Amino acid sequence: MDGQKDMIREQDERDPAAVPGRRRNGSMGAGILTGIAGTVLTGMIALGVFCTLTDTRLRFIDKSAVRGSGPILTDEAVAKISELDAYINTYYYDETDPEELRNGIYEGFLAGIGDRYSEYYTAEVYQQTQVGLTGNYYGIGAGLQQDKDTMEVSVKKVYEGTPSDTAGLLEGDVILSVDNTEANSMNVTELVLLIRGEEGTTVHLEVYRRETDEYLSFDVERANVTLPSVDHQMLENGIGYIRIESFEKATAEQFAAAYTDLETQGMEKLMIDLRYNGGGLVDSVVEILDQILPEGLLVYIEDKNGNRNEYRSDAERFVSLPIVVLINGESASASEIFAGAIKDYEYGTLIGTKTFGKGIVQTVFPLSDGDAVKLTTAKYFTPNGNYIHEVGIEPDIELVYEYLDPDGEEYDMQYDNQIQKALEVLNGAGDKK
């Protein structure tokens, strides 16, 4: 790779339709779907915008080393494509775009693998997927999700102080169109390309608000948006609370700042909330684990040839506090690396429900013409060698989520039964051994 550092992201492959927002039902807010994954199951993408490469390495390779398995484009296959083109050209009722037809061939070729995580990117979409690496965006500062069956696009999260917040968009709003383009006519990843744009320009959104049965119009000014992935607060009895929504490039730094702030407030115990966190950069989660765990293996990755890549903690710093980690079925990939390491080291208590179960790695290979291909290339394992793909990680204390104040209009963690259980555990904990 000649100096090019692998950038690995954990893929958010949850069913986005099942991810609730922070509402009176008490769910803790979906993590920003980082969206290459979203192009497969069509999940939430930050309009800020993050369309992230989750569970993915960006790899530059010697093209001369690439070898095909055999002749796929046989004379018969080429003749059949030409025959199909002739029928389309002669009988299809509307005009067609040759470039789009070729892209369809490439996409179909990758679909032939039968792996929902492997796919083809045009240069434009590929560039979009890179945006999330910095955390800075020219967009409107909201999160979207798309139902994989109906293609309906809705607002899953509105970030405070961003253009979407200022304009009055709300969680749950259904996006009908973007600048007169129907939102359900394309993948949410492509829709994001329409929403992003130059700073100071506006994007026109037509929205349906189910709660009030209203059709609304918004002209939202695009801005340079930096979306936080960590928030924190001090709770009772010296318990610090840190929520990680996704593992982005700046997340480890944000985590360290949050931890330091809580320390100055007298933190003696720590609660880390990974519910609805669908993943992010492996480098990010490893860096955070390095701040928490003692010296040792954190996670390792193996490809089909048995080549192994290990990520380790150097123990230059680690947390010597009682720790509780909250997880659920929407905690995926990088969140599972985190939870798996905590569990294997017996360094904290996992509370909630079994995690999603994604233990495979994708690699993005840039192509010579600017397009790219993403392929599943490896498996990852917890420190004890557990392969959690389609298995998930069981909590130490299983507790199905329940919001204890059904009449509340706004989410309040004092009515969150999982947080209350975590407080109970931490209040009963002694010093970390």
- Segment 379-404, tens digit of pLDDT: 999 999 999 999 999 999 999 999 98
* Residue 419 vs residue 4, higher pLDDT: 419
Query: Do residues 356 and 336 make contact, with C-beta atoms less than 8 angstroms apart?
Result: yes
Nearest to 272 by CA among 288, 284, 296: 288
Nearest to 364 by CA among 19, 55, 51: 55
Sign of the alpha-carbon torsion through 267, 271, 274, 280: positive
pLDDT band at residue 25 under the 50/70/90 scheme: very low
Token digits for 201? 């320009």
Token digits for 111? 């679909």
Backbone angles phi, psi at 286, to 5 degrees: -65, -40
Q: Go through the chain and tell me how many residues it has.
A: 433
Token digits for 366? 């840039």
Share of the chain above pLDDT 70, in %: 80
CA atoms of 171 and 287, how far apart (whole Å)? 32
pLDDT band at residue 197 under the 50/70/90 scheme: confident
Q: Is 12's pLDDT higher than 80?
A: no
CA atoms of 176 and 152, how far apart (whole Å)? 8
DSSP secondary structure letter of residue 228: -
Model confidence, pTM: 0.73
CA atoms of 30 and 19, how far apart (whole Å)? 6
Nearest to 192 by CA among 139, 231, 242: 139
Rounded to 5°, the CA angle 337-145-282 comes to 20
Positions annotated as catalytic residues are 333, 358, 362
Q: What is the mean pLDDT of residues 335-360?
A: 96
Is the peptide bond between 49 and the residue preceding it cis, with omega within 30 degrees of 0? Answer: yes
* Residue 353 vs residue 136, higher pLDDT: 353
For 89, 90, 96, 185, 208, the CA distances from 93, given in Å and listed in that order, are: 9, 9, 9, 18, 32
DSSP secondary structure letter of residue 281: B
Q: Is 42's pLDDT higher than 90?
A: no
- Among 33-47, 60-74, 288-302, where is mean pLDDT lowest? 33-47
Query: Do residues 290 and 256 make contact, with C-beta atoms less than 8 angstroms apart?
Result: no
* Residue 263 vs residue 14, higher pLDDT: 263
Nearest to 387 by CA among 284, 301, 308: 301
Helix, strand, coil shares, percent, the chain, to 5: 30, 25, 45
Query: Do residues 32 and 245 make contact, with C-beta atoms less than 8 angstroms apart?
Result: yes
